[in-house]
Structures are given as C-alpha cells and as structure tokens.
Structure 1
C-alpha cells in the first residue's frame, strides 16, 4: 500500500463518515426481529434524516488504513455546508495537507504548493450531504455495542445491486441521536477504520473555510462540445475539420503547460480522432518506433500500435494529429483530408 493510496483512502473514509454512507437513504430490508429495536434500514434512514436536516456538519476522526504489509493512520478534521461546500484537513506523522471545494473550485494545499481545478457547470457539486441515490445500500442490524462509552447500533451494509463488488462495511450509529461513531471496510486487501471523535451539526462556518488559496496553480480542466462550431468558438486554436466523417464530439483540455482539443468523428462506423494541441512537442521528443511519412508534402511521424495508427506533425507550437483504426497508409489518407 503506497502513501498515496493511504492518503486517498483516508480522505475517502472521512467523507464517507460525513455524508456518503451516512446520508444515503436505503430501501426496505428487515433487521433483527426483536421487540423494541428498529430494523437496519430504519436506523440508516434515521441517520440519513439526521445528516440531511443539517445545514452544516463539522467533526474530527481518526482514519487507519492497513493491510498485511503496512499500516497508516491520519487525523482528519472536516466540515461541510449545504449545498456544495466541503473541507478536510489531514494530518499524518509525515505530512499534513488540506483539501476542499466551494462548489466552483476543487483545491488542495500541501507543504510546498497548492492547486485548484475549476469545476465545469455540469459536474459542480450539487449536494454535499446527500450524494447517494436512494435504494443503493441495504442494512442489517447486528446488535448494540459501545464506542468510546457511547451506545451504538451496529449495521452491516451491502449494496442493493448484488453484482457490485463492494467491500465488507460495518457502521456504528448512536442509539440516541443517530450520529456516526465508527465505520470499517475490508476489501480483502486494505482494511479501513474510521473512528469519529466529534460531530457538530448546524454550527456557523465562515465561507473562507472553503475558499481556494489565492496562489493556487490551476490543473487540468475539461469542456465537452457537441458541435464543431461550438468547439472552435471555445478555443483560440485553429481546428481542422474532417469533412468525410460525422462529427460526434470534441473535448477541450487545458493544463498549465498545454491545451488540446480532441475531436471524435464517425467515418462509416470507424472511429477517427483529430488532435490539436500546444505544448505537445516535449512529450513527443522521446517517442520511439516512429516512421517518417509525408502529409501533403509536410514532414510527419506515424506510430502503429496494435490495430491503431497515429500520424502527427508540428507547425510552430501547434501539433496536429489523427488516430485511426487502421494502417499507416489509411492514417495518412485521413490526415490529408483535413
């Protein structure tokens, strides 16, 4: 288990605690048929209502991820606010960092740098505390136990869809106010334990808690277009069109050091991809097994891999290429039709 894996699981488990599982309403599955005890689905439904009703949630938790060869522990402080704000500070013995979103930018701050990604409107966070569709988890009440002196229902959680390969998950929920006290998951390799030390509902949180750092470095952003004209309007690059195919979509990709537009066409059932990019030459310098070809008298390079061939050339700072499901000759022919 790598440090990155442990870090991702720590963040994921923390957010599971504040919303992903705790806030998911579930379909009816009967729990223990004991007088005076709710069923598993009733407990989880009440937990969902507890978190759904909150405008804000804050807390702290200890997250431990372990397998047969390693064990890592992190302390996580977290906060969430309706409808689309979240923040977490993760501290491990070796490092600390913060991650968050204000609904428009997802950001992170480490020891040496920070970064932020602008969220396209279609993928912006819509609901921090209720992101799970109803009916996707079933719960079975296993009994009542104590977590740090607090009485808790013990629930086994399973996906409603039996084809989903989900880890074994157990959730401990307070018997009085339905706060999450503990969560464990086991996927057969990694075992994650989240112990929630503190949970606060409806406390005041200043918006600055979720604001991205002013000196952040932007990372990859994407935008998808359903017409050639829309794609051309969305970039300063001069895009070539493939007139012998039917335009399917274009994706604009922006990174700090480069931009690219990837167009996809259907040519009588065959996929043709047209690439236009800046900043690509540094990635192409080390390409091996390329074959020199000519495209309308222009020097180009062809690379064949499996059943696909890429032909590309660079003019100034702009690299243009085509990808076809076919031979080098077929790729050159398509390139000459741009």
Structure 2
C-alpha cells in the first residue's frame, strides 16, 4: 500500500496538532520529574502564547511497502499564516492574509475572501485556524488522551523530555521529543493505522520577525487585484460584468474576487439546513480535482459533470466562457437538484 499524506492540509495539521494531543489540566511533578501532561502543557503554552511562529520540519510517511518524504514550512503572525509543502517534485502553498485565503499547487490555484466559511469551491477552507494563538488548539477532541512520561534524554544532542500520547479513541500513538530548555517540539513519531509518520522539527521559533509579504500569494501564479463582499444578490449582480445564476433559497452573502486571469464570484445560500455555494468563474478552475468518479448529467440544457471531492458534492458546467458550479455537503443527487433549481 502506497502511503499518502492526504494532501498539504494533513501535513500542515501534523505540525500543529501534535502539541494539542493532551491539552489537559492538573499536571503534576514527581520526584523533580515533570509528568507527561506538564510537558505537553508547557509545549502548548510555548506556541499558543507566541505573537509569531516559524516552523520548518522534515516529514516522512511510511508503511511496509513504501515511504514518502516532504519538507514543510509554516509561518504565522497575528491572524495571518502560510504553509509550504515540498514533496514528490512538487510544491504546494497555502496561506491567509488580511484579505484572502489562497492555495497554489502545481496545476491549480484558488483564492477566497478570508472570512468565507466552509466549502466555497469544492475545497475545504479552514478559516483562521492557523494563527499563533490557535497553533496548539486544533485537536480539542483529544483532550482526554492518555499521556506517559517515558524518559529524559537526547537523540540529536538536544536535551529533551520524551512522552507518549495515545488519544482516547486509540487510533493513533505518538511519541514526542520536547526540548527541556524552552518546551519547543524537536521530533514526533506517530503511528496511525498502517502508516508511520516521523516529523523532525529542523527549526521551531516563536516571537520572531515575519515580513508581511510572507502571507501574500505568489504573484506569478495568483495575482489578486480586488476582493469585494456583497450582502444582496442585486448588489453583486450589479457589480459583475456577466449574468449570475440565482438560487431560490435564503441568500447569505457573495464574494467577488478579481484576478489577472478573470473574475470569480461565490454566492452563499442556506437551503433546508444546508450551506450551498454557487460559483461563477471565468478563471481556469478544476472543480473535480482529478476525481476518478465523474458522472455526466444535464442541468437546464447544459452538459454538466457531478462528482464528490473530500465529502463535498460538486456539479459544474461551462457556457459562454463562464463556468458555473454548485457545491454542497451532501449527495451528488442533492447537488444536481440544487443546480437544476438555479434561475439563470
């Protein structure tokens, strides 16, 4: 079985979630030796109380038959962040600044207005999670993990506390090396199903200067000239040069993002308890993200495609130079029904 990182998002998650695997209170000290809980609490506080965080790590995911490696760089300051993953001769970048959240991969780019919630174009956007204050708080569900202090020692010359963490569900097992001098993470070894993941933190700094341009998308791949938000359909239509479809549902808001290669409009609706996004774009987008299961359907006279990506159903088609997509957390049939209800 070929090991997989599950995309750049899982790699970024590995870097931040390990400090939160046992965010428990009441840590104790025995015979001058801290408990495992105390060590992890110190590590969590080391990152969570920082005004900025810069991390560089080597990540290796392996099983009995193969392994994959990547280098991950993470930087955060205030409410802005950026993650860069270099793996398999390809580089993936994602970030959020004061204006937009963005993603740049080898064959695809995307950007959203930064306060967008949920799935805007078939790609999950985690909002403002990657900030220094949230660096150690991605895994509140694991607050009841069991923690064991193993030993004090060094594998690379840096004195470290070594602790073992097992989440309550028992699906993973992590051994962490934490510097005794300042509570920064040095190494993590995680067993998760058939895969074993090793994270070596080559650099882990807090409260360092991070230039604001760090969080901007690469201009040669994703040039953003403006981002505008609207509270009514009429307002976004008035300020868009092409006709927008309209869903007979509760309108939430819309974001119009202008790039050098076109305009991208995302309308958000609420229908029967579901969050629905209707996308209209003249940019080059891949809504199926390489999905192997794409169904050909007809939507209001248009030849369309329906697929599911990361648990999100997407129906999309192109007409007159504009690609339209309907995105919903639900079945493909649900997405098709919504698409056929569009008033264009």
TM-score (norm 2): 0.62
What's the secondary structure of 1:68's corresponding residue?
Answer: coil
DSSP 3-state at the match of 2:159: strand
TM-aligned CA deviation for residue 187 of structure 1? 1.7
Match of 2:311 in 1: none
| Structure 1 position 277, deviation (Å) | 4.7
Q: Deviations over 1:236-261 (max 9, x none)?
A: 4445667xx65365766879677566
Match for residue 61 of structure 2?
Answer: 65
Deviations for 1:185-204, whole angstroms, at most 9, x for unmatched residues? 22212211112233333333
Q: Partners of 1:270 and 1:73 in 2: how far apart? A: 41
Which residue, 178, 202, 205 being the options, matches 1:197? 202
**Structure 1 47/192 Cα, relative in aligned 2: closer, same or farther at 3 Å?**
same
Query: How many angstroms does 1:29 deviate by?
Result: 6.4
Distance 1:148 1:4 in 2: 26
Q: Determine the C-alpha separation between the residues in 2 that align with 1:117 and 1:152.
A: 40
**Larger-Rg structure:** 1
Contact 1:167 1:188 in 2 (8 A): yes
Alpha carbons of structure 1 residues 118 and 35: separation in structure 2 relative to 1, 3 Å: same
Instruction: Report the count of equivalent residues.
Output: 306
Unaligned residue ranges in structure 1 (runs of 5+): none
Equivalent residue for 2:18, pick from 17, 21, 39: 21
Q: 2:174–2:191: 8 Å Cα contact kept in structure 1?
A: yes
Q: Could you tell me whether the CA contact under 8 Å between 1:52 and 1:129 is conserved in 2? A: yes
Aligned in 2, Cα 1:142/1:238: closer, same or farther, shift over 3 Å? Answer: same
Question: Do 2:74 and 2:84's aligned partners in 1 also have CA atoms closer than 8 Å?
Answer: no
Paired residues for 1:35-114 under 5 Å: 35-76=31-72, 78-92=73-87, 95=89, 97=91, 99-101=93-95, 103-104=97-98, 105-106=100-101
Q: Does 1:152 align with 2:160?
A: yes
**Relative to structure 1, is the Cα distance of residues 287 and 236 closer, same or farther in structure 2, using a 3 angstrom cutoff?**
farther
CA distance in 2, matches of 1:319, 1:200: 43
Query: Helix, strand or coil: the match of 2:45?
Result: helix
Aligned to 1:142: 149
- SS at structure 1 position matched to 2:31: coil
Q: Distance in 2 between matches of 1:51 and 1:176?
A: 14
- C-alpha contact 1:225 1:251 (8 A) present in aligned 2: yes
- Superposed CA RMSD: 5.3
Matched, 1:171 2:165: no
Residue correspondence of structure 1 range 295-334 to structure 2 within 5 A: 300=301, 316=320
Q: Which runs of 5+ in 2 are unaligned?
A: 117-126, 287-293, 307-314, 327-331
Q: What SS does structure 1 have at the residue aligned with 2:134?
A: coil
Provide, for residues 78-120 of structure 1, a one-character-per-residue CA deviation record: whole Å limited to 9, x for no partner.
352421343455455x52636353524445667x788462442
In structure 2, distance between residues paired with 1:45 and 1:263: 39
1:121 aligns to 2:115 (yes or no): yes
1:9 CA displacement: 4.6
For residues 45-71 of structure 1, what are the alpha-carbon distances to aligned partners after superposition, in whole Å with 9 as ceiling and x for unaligned? 111222233333334332111122211
User: Do the aligned residues in 2 keep the contact of 1:40 with 1:140 (CA within 8 Å)?
Assistant: yes
Residue among 199, 206, 211 paired with 2:211: 206
Q: CA deviation at 1:213?
A: 2.1
CA distance in 2: counterparts of 1:209 and 1:274, whole angstroms:
29
SS in 2 for 1:150: coil
Q: Distance in 1 between matches of 2:219 and 2:66?
A: 37
